[in-house]
Structures are given as structure tokens and as C-alpha cells.
Amino acid sequence: MTGRKKECYSLASIANAIGGTLVGDPEILISGLCSLQKASPDKLSFLSNRAYKHYLKTTSAGAVIVSNDDQLLFSGNKLISEDPYLAYALASKLFVDSPKFLSGIHSSANLHSSVSLTKDVFIGPNVVIEEDVVIGHRCQIGSGTTIGAGTVIGDECSTSANVVIDKDVTLGDRVKIHSGAVIGADGFGYAFDGEKSIKIFQLGSVRIGDDVEIGAQTTIDRGALDDTVICDGVKIDNQVQIGHNCHIGKHTIICGCVGLAGSVTLGAYCVMGGGSGAVGHITLADHVQVSAMSLVSQSILEAGRYSAGTVQMKTRDWKRATMRFKELDSLAKRLKRLERD
């Protein structure tokens, strides 16, 4: 909780860190990143969306990241990059105002005597770690986090505050879990005995690969028999629900508020748009993109973009359209009859 950095970098050292060709003054000091419109002379900006290229004429930025194609549009200090948006991402790491690396165990933390960890980890206030947990090097466990018995965490993982990782979960290296996320709660399974629901105890767990990021308040349930699996490089936004026995392929992106029922298999490099969902026991191929708030109710075997729902309308007009939707089958049949006549 101490020692937040606020550093400046010379343009040369930024070029060194993120790549690109520097044209202009290598000594100019940069204190942060900013949009073209709002940048001051101590800021670095970037042009990735060419709809904004007119701002190059008026920006006060001390330097701009531009593509090869756009470099002539800007006469000031610049970093020429093949992919300015990617270069901006790399530069953002330099300016993040994060705490210096911390280590030590806060006096209010409760660790079972069997916990295995090294001196270079940080365990925050009110953290609870149960028996047989293994925590890798340079992990940072935020305040109020609970880690259940038998969980194994790789190197350089972090949790923000009030995260819950239940028992027997496995995390790879460099996994980042944001505040309030719950990993490994029971999957939702019952058998009906004719009168009431009988709980199916969830005997699997959750296995998470390397370089996974998990958003605030997201829940990933433990498997019923086998494990729920999140592969390397998957990025999951806030408020996402991933049901038991889902298998999320490498580098797939899951935006906010997505809900996946049980046993959904997503391929690699998929994108589930915000608020989209999938019913249980279906499979999506690699490189499938699902639009915001679309439900996937059948497996998708071919890469591509998929959507469901209807676009917004004025409610007055929408009411008429949705009433006609109810008649749609009859309208189609009447049309066919006319065609036959």
C-alpha cells in the first residue's frame, strides 16, 4: 500500500520499450498517454482510428504514435509503428500508476500452517488461505480474498480485493483476477425426484491456464465430474457467468455480462459480445464471433459472425412489429397461397 510511481520517460526510452521508429526529439519528456484532442505537450498520443486523423493538425501532444501511412500527416515528434493501437497498448504499461511491487504477509491475514509460499509474495489484509494451498513466486493477493483448500496458484498471479477462489482450483502463471470474482463455486445441478430437486454435488474443479484475466464479479463454476477449463490467454470481462464443465479455448475474449450454461465448449480466438449467452452442451468452432446480447442456442461449426434478436425501434413501431412477428408463420403461409394462385 505504499510507493505509487509517477514517472516520466524520454521519447527515446519509450521507443526503446515499445518499438517503432522515432522521428523528432528523442529527449522530450513524456509524463503520460492522452487522446489527440486532450493531449498537452508532455503527453504521448496515438492515431489508430483514421476517422480522427484531422486531429493530427491541431493536437498539442508532445509526440504521436502513427502508422507508416499516416506519418506525413503529422509534423511533430512521432513514433512510426506498424500497429499504433498495439504500440499504445504497450506504452500504457509504462504509465500505469500501480503500487510498487509489494511483498510480505499482512498481520491480519489468516494462513493455514500447511500453506506453501515464498518470501516474494504479498498477502494483503484479511486474506484467508486454507490448508495445502500453494502460491507461486511474486503473487499479490488482495485484501479480503479467500483461497480454499488445495488450490494451486502459479507465478506472478494477482487478485484484487474480496476475490474468492474455492478449493482445489488450479491457476497458471500471470493470472489476474479482479475484485469480487468467485472461482470454483458449485455448478448448478439437480436431479428431480418428482417432488423436489436433489443436489448433484460438484466433484470437479476449475483449471485456469496462463495469462488469463478475469473481471470483477465474474463467476466460474467448478465442474460436476470433470473440471471447468479456461485455456491460456483467455480474457474475461466483468459480471460473466461460466457454468460447470465449460471449456474456453485459447485466447478467446468474453465481454461483460455474458452467461454460458453448463458444458459449453468455445473454440480458440472466439469473441462473445457483451451480454451474449449460450445454452448448455453446445460447441462453437474457433474464430466465432457472437454479437452483443445474442443467444447461441445451437452449435456453430463454422467460423464467422453470428447474431440474434432485433434492432431497436421506437416502442410504438416496435409494438406493431412484434405483434406481426407472432403472425409471421401465418403471413408466410398466406403469401405462399397467393403465389400459387
Active site residues: 244
Least Cβ distance, residue 231 to a copy of itself (angstroms) = 12
Interface pick for a copy of itself out of 70, 155, 166, 173 (rule CB under 8 A): 166
Nearer Cβ to a copy of itself (33/171): 33
**Binders of a copy of itself among 77-116, rule CB under 8 A?**
83, 85-86, 88-90, 92-93, 95-97, 99, 106, 108, 110, 112
Nearer Cβ to a copy of itself (12/335): 335
Distance CA 96, CA 158 (A): 16
Q: How far is CA 160 from the centre of its chain?
A: 14
Nearer Cβ to a copy of itself (25/213): 213
Least Cβ distance, residue 338 to a copy of itself (angstroms) = 6
Interface pick for a copy of itself out of 71, 162, 170, 228 (rule CB under 8 A): 162
Least Cβ distance, residue 43 to a copy of itself (angstroms) = 9
Distance CA 139, CA 114 (A): 18
**Binders of a copy of itself among 183-202, rule CB under 8 A?**
185-186, 188-193, 195-202
Interface pick for a copy of itself out of 146, 151, 158, 159 (rule CB under 8 A): 146
3-class secondary-structure state, position 231 = coil
Nearer Cβ to a copy of itself (26/186): 186
Least Cβ distance, residue 319 to a copy of itself (angstroms) = 8
If you ran DSSP here, which 8-state letter would residue 194 be given? S
Interface pick for a copy of itself out of 178, 228, 249, 266 (rule CB under 8 A): 178
Work out whether 247 is an interface residue with a copy of itself (CB under 8 A). no
Residue with cell 488445495: 150
Distance CA 157, CA 90 (A): 20
Which three cell numbers, joined as nine digits, stand for 141?
Answer: 493477493
Work out whether 5 is an interface residue with a copy of itself (CB under 8 A). no
Closest by Cα among 122, 85, 90, 89 to 106: 122
If you ran DSSP here, which 8-state letter would residue 292 be given? T
Q: Give me the torsion for CA of 70, 73, 78, 80, rounded to 10°.
A: 20
Q: Which helix (H) or strand (E) holds 329?
A: helix 328-340
* Binding track over 261-290 against a copy of itself, x by CB under 8 A: x-----------xxx-x-x---------xx
Least Cβ distance, residue 41 to a copy of itself (angstroms) = 16
φ/ψ (deg, to 5) at 271: -130, 120
**Binders of a copy of itself among 116-135, rule CB under 8 A?**
124-126, 128, 130-131
β-partners of residue 43 are 32
Cα of first residue to Cα of last residue in the chain, in angstroms, is 80
Strands 190-192 and 197-199: antiparallel
Distance CA 145, CA 207 (A): 19
Work out whether 228 is an interface residue with a copy of itself (CB under 8 A). no
Least Cβ distance, residue 299 to a copy of itself (angstroms) = 10
Nearer Cβ to a copy of itself (76/256): 256
Nearer Cβ to a copy of itself (139/260): 260
Interface pick for a copy of itself out of 5, 38, 54, 57 (rule CB under 8 A): 38
Closest by Cα among 272, 276, 302, 277 to 289: 272
Interface pick for a copy of itself out of 20, 62, 180, 267 (rule CB under 8 A): 180
If you ran DSSP here, which 8-state letter would residue 137 be given? T
**Binders of a copy of itself among 51-80, rule CB under 8 A?**
none
Distance CA 307, CA 294 (A): 5
